[in-house]
């Protein structure tokens, strides 16, 4: 499969990475080079093979349903680039 | 020479009070002061007063007889592990000013064992790369030079290139690394040190900045195989905060080194004899086989038929997980923020400015293979091929105890080489990626120099949770090879 410019633009939009128009073509070529190489996977027969999710070395556990962490609002907010009181700030999203 | 010791030697010297933890720490701070401008192995060096205070606390524990297994040992920490109150960048502009309010489990375990942190080592941005050239803080330079060519700067490998360069050059006794597709083993081989990627689940991933969560695993980078065992004992262990963490007991790994390997069965995978593999790599591999035969191992030919699909599968699964993990860098909760009139605009401007080229490309690739219409063809297919790769290892381990392969298809290359074509760069990981896909433990041991005077490593791969046999075989290779070479740039040179 090969990527066209419109698909490249759509992926960048989905990934929320603001590419300039003049960066799109170079990005398309880079990704296409990798995709061409990846296409060799088409020759592998996977009929009846289940997908491997994680490395399956441990089974998932259930833990006791109780609070074990928290009360660290200020420490977490301290990592934010902009805050206002006990809130993260973003540009206005509702007019 | 305090900067040339192994962890094991330094631990013995501290216990016998031959030198103090303060003297040991000071010697390393001095070495970093002299060499870091040239090598750029550390992104952040901790303030001298803090390092010496940790060392003094270690000295007090030795005096009180309460020293832990890593007590007073000065080490580097890959700048991917969150360290409370110490800037943690992942070598990205996105996190250039990020100071975590929490300590990763692995670094907390090391601190509890008494380790003295010197600083945060350089890496490829978000651990994505094989040459440490994708760092927003500039590349790390390999302390090794080609014989007669001091001018050409070589790469230290990646992504844990700052850690491998620091350990090789005497700027730390050991360092932590993380390995997603070879990021501990390949830089260890390029810098002539030991690197161990444990079984997936051995070390908690909590507080380690995520790249590809089903593959990421922390491990030690050291000067000896016994050191790798010792340091893993301190790093490993169950952690309820990582749902994939293993609750198996942590053995005394270092005791596996020096155990007889007589009668162990060593598999040589036919598919790793890749076409075009350089003669010097083949010769080193043959030498390793001969050493293990001489030590009493039985050498057996095995087949891992899906080896050639390891890298392609990796370059679907790792970017897919990366695109998902790195979605958190939104300019709101932590890290960089670029202002724009709309919320989407903030996301797009922040992520365009904060991520370097390789990280952007991997996020875009991952977004593509997960997107509607392509998920089955790429991502689901790759997960199925991953099952086949894992089965290859399981089948092989029914007949053999370990596998022996080269760690990398070449010695360290020059900065600037392999830069134009990402696929060429990805091929550096051809021998390390399959073990990552299967989640099995793998060790790189330095065994010799090539004609240009650069170190080469051999890789020992073992069964899930059987690091001990891997370390025993690694110890036998180490004893036979007697690798004592040092790079041209190191703390002891000219002193």
Using one digit for the tens of pLDDT, what is the confidence trace for B92-119? Answer: 999 999 999 999 999 999 999 999 999 9
B256 vs B353: CA distance, rounded Å:
48
For the stretch B213-269, pLDDT in tens is: 999 999 999 999 999 999 999 999 999 999 999 999 999 999 999 999 999 999 999
B20 labelled catalytic: no
Domains defined along chain B, listed by start: 1-495 (3.90.1300.10)
Pseudo-torsion of CA B350, B354, B357, B363, nearest 10°?
Answer: -60
CB B286 within 8 A of CB B406: no
pLDDT above 60 for B494 = no
B367 Cβ under 8 Å from any chain A Cβ? yes
Question: Which residues of A are less than 8 Å from B316 in CB distance?
Answer: 38, 41
B464 Cβ under 8 Å from any chain A Cβ? yes
Nearest to B21 by CA among B65, B69, B54: B54
The continuous run of DSSP H or E covering B45 comes out as strand B42-45
pLDDT recorded at residue A61: 82
CB-CB under 8 Å, A54 with B306: no
Question: Which residues of A are less than 8 Å from B335 in CB distance?
Answer: 79, 81
Please, which pLDDT band fits residue A92 given cuts at 50, 70 and 90?
A: confident
Please give the DSSP secondary-structure letter assigned to residue B375: I
Supply angle C-alpha B38, B227, B15, rounded to 5: 100
Average pLDDT over residues B297-311: 96
Strand partners, B179: B217
CB B450 within 8 A of CB B392: no
Supply angle C-alpha B320, B321, B324, rounded to 5: 90
B:125-164 residues touching chain A, CB 8 A cutoff? none
User: How far is CA B402 from each of CA B292, B307, B386, rounded to the nearest angstrom?
Assistant: 11, 16, 20
ipTM of the complex: 0.94
- Among candidate residues B20, B160, B183, B444, the one labeled active-site is B183
What average pLDDT does chain A have? 90
B362 vs B130: CA distance, rounded Å:
14
Question: Which residues of B are less than 8 Å from A76 in CB distance?
Answer: 101, 333
- How many angstroms separate the CA of residue B29 from the nearest CA in chain A? 29
Strand partners, B42: B121
Length of chain B: 495
Q: Report H helices in A1-95.
A: 5-14, 21-38, 73-77
Listed ranges A37-41, A80-84, B52-56; the one with the highest mean pLDDT: B52-56
Neighbours of A37 (CB within 10 A): 17
Task: Give the sign of the dihedral formed by CA B287, CA B290, CA B296, CA B300.
Answer: positive
CB B196 within 8 A of CB B228: yes
For the stretch A38-75, pLDDT in tens is: 999 999 999 999 999 877 777 778 888 999 888 999 98
B:290-329 residues touching chain A, CB 8 A cutoff? 306, 309, 312-313, 315-316, 323, 327
* pTM assigned to the model: 0.97
Surface-to-core class of residue B81, CB atoms within 10 Å of its CB (0-12 exposed, 13-18 middle, 19+ buried): buried
Nearest by CB to residue B360, choosing from A17, A55, A72, is: A17
| Token couple for B494 | 């000219």
User: How far is CA B126 from each of CA B53, B79, B80, B113, B328, rounded to the nearest angstrom?
Assistant: 30, 9, 7, 27, 13
Nearest to A25 by CA among A39, A43, A4, A46: A4
Residue entry with tokens 């690739």: B365
B236 Cβ under 8 Å from any chain A Cβ? no
Nearest to B235 by CA among B436, B473, B75, B28: B75
Farthest CA pair distance, chain A:
57
CB-CB under 8 Å, A90 with B334: no
pLDDT above 50 for B495 = no
B59 vs B228: CA distance, rounded Å:
23
- How many angstroms separate the CA of residue A46 from the nearest CA in chain B? 6
Please, which pLDDT band fits residue A1 given cuts at 50, 70 and 90?
A: low
| Token couple for B90 | 């992942």
For the stretch B10-23, pLDDT in tens is: 999 999 999 999 99
For the stretch B134-189, pLDDT in tens is: 999 999 999 999 999 999 999 999 999 999 999 999 999 999 999 999 999 999 99
Helix and strand numbers (H, E) in chain A are: 3, 2
List the single residue in B with minimal CA-CA distance to A69.
B241
Neighbours of B138 (CB within 10 A): 12
B128 vs B120: CA distance, rounded Å:
17
Strand partners, B457: B446
Task: Give the sign of the dihedral formed by CA B242, CA B247, CA B249, CA B251.
Answer: negative
- How many angstroms separate the CA of residue A81 from the nearest CA in chain B? 6
B78 labelled catalytic: yes
User: How far is CA B99 from each of CA A77, B76, B95, B346, rounded to the nearest angstrom?
Assistant: 12, 17, 9, 22
CB-CB under 8 Å, A91 with B364: no
For the stretch B178-226, pLDDT in tens is: 999 999 999 999 999 999 999 999 999 999 999 999 999 999 999 999 9
What average pLDDT does chain B have? 96
CB-CB under 8 Å, B335 with A81: yes
B458 vs B27: CA distance, rounded Å:
31
* Disruptive mutation site among A10, A15, A59 for chain B (greatest number of B CBs within 10 Å): A15
B434 vs B314: CA distance, rounded Å:
8
B419 Cβ under 8 Å from any chain A Cβ? no
B262 labelled catalytic: no
3-class state of residue B407 by DSSP: coil
């Amino acid at each position: 499969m090969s990527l066209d410019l419109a698909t490249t633009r759509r992926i960048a939009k989905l990934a929320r990475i603001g590419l300039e128009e003049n960066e799109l073509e170079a990005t398309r070529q880079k990704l296409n080079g990798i995709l061409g190489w990846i296409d060799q996977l088409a020759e592998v027969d996977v009929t009846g093979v289940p997908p491997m999710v994680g490395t399956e070395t441990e089974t998932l556990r259930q833990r006791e349903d109780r609070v074990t962490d928290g009360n660290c609002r200020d420490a977490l907010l301290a990592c934010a680039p902009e805050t206002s009181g006990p809130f993260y700030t973003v540009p206005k999203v509702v007019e | 020479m305090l900067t040339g010791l192994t962890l094991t030697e330094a631990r013995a010297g501290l216990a016998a009070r031959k030198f103090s933890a303060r003297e040991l720490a000071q010697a390393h701070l001095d070495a970093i002061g002299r060499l870091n401008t040239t090598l750029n192995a550390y992104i952040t060096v901790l303030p001298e007063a803090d390092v010496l205070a940790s060392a003094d606390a270690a000295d007090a524990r030795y005096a009180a007889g309460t020293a832990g297994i890593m007590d007073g040992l000065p080490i580097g920490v890959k700048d991917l592990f969150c360290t409370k109150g110490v800037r943690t960048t992942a070598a990205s502009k996105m996190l250039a000013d990020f100071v975590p309010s929490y300590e990763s489990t692995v670094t907390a375990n090391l601190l509890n064992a008494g380790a003295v942190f010197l600083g945060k080592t350089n890496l490829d941005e978000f651990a994505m790369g094989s040459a440490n050239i994708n760092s927003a803080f500039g590349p790390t330079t390999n302390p090794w030079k080609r014989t007669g060519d001091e001018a050409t700067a070589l790469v230290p490998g990646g992504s844990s290139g700052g850690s491998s360069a620091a350990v090789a050059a005497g700027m730390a006794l050991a360092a932590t690394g993380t390995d997603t597709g070879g990021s501990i083993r390949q830089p260890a081989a390029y810098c002539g040190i030991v690197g161990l990627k444990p079984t997936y689940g051995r070390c908690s991933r909590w507080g380690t900045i995520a790249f590809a969560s089903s593959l990421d695993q922390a491990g030690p980078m050291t000067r000896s195989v016994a050191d790798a065992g010792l340091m893993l004992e301190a790093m490993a262990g169950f952690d309820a905060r990582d749902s994939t963490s293993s609750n198996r007991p942590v053995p005394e790994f270092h005791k596996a080194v020096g155990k007889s390997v007589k009668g162990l069965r060593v598999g040589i995978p036919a598919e790793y004899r890749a076409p075009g593999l350089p003669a010097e790599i083949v010769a080193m591999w043959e030498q390793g086989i001969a050493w293990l035969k001489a030590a009493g191992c039985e050498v057996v030919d095995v087949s891992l038929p899906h080896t050639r699909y390891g890298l392609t599968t990796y370059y679907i699964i790792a970017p897919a997980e990366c695109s998902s993990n790195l979605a958190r860098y939104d300019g709101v909760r932590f890290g960089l923020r670029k202002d724009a009139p709309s919320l989407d605009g903030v996301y797009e401007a922040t992520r365009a400015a904060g991520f370097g080229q390789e990280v952007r490309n991997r996020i875009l690739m991952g977004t593509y293979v997960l997107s509607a219409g392509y998920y089955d063809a790429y991502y689901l297919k790759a997960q199925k091929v991953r099952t086949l790769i894992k089965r290859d290892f399981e089948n092989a381990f029914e007949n053999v105890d370990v596998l022996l392969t080269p760690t990398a298809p070449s010695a360290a290359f020059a900065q600037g080489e392999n830069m134009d074509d990402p696929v060429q760069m990805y091929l550096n990981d051809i021998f390390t990626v399959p073990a990552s896909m299967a989640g099995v433990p793998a060790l790189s041991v330095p065994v010799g120099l090539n004609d240009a005077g650069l170190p080469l490593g051999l890789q020992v791969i073992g069964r899930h949770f059987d690091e001990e046999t891997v370390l025993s075989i690694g110890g036998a290779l180490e004893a036979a090879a007697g690798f004592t070479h040092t790079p041209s740039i190191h703390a002891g040179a000219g002193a």
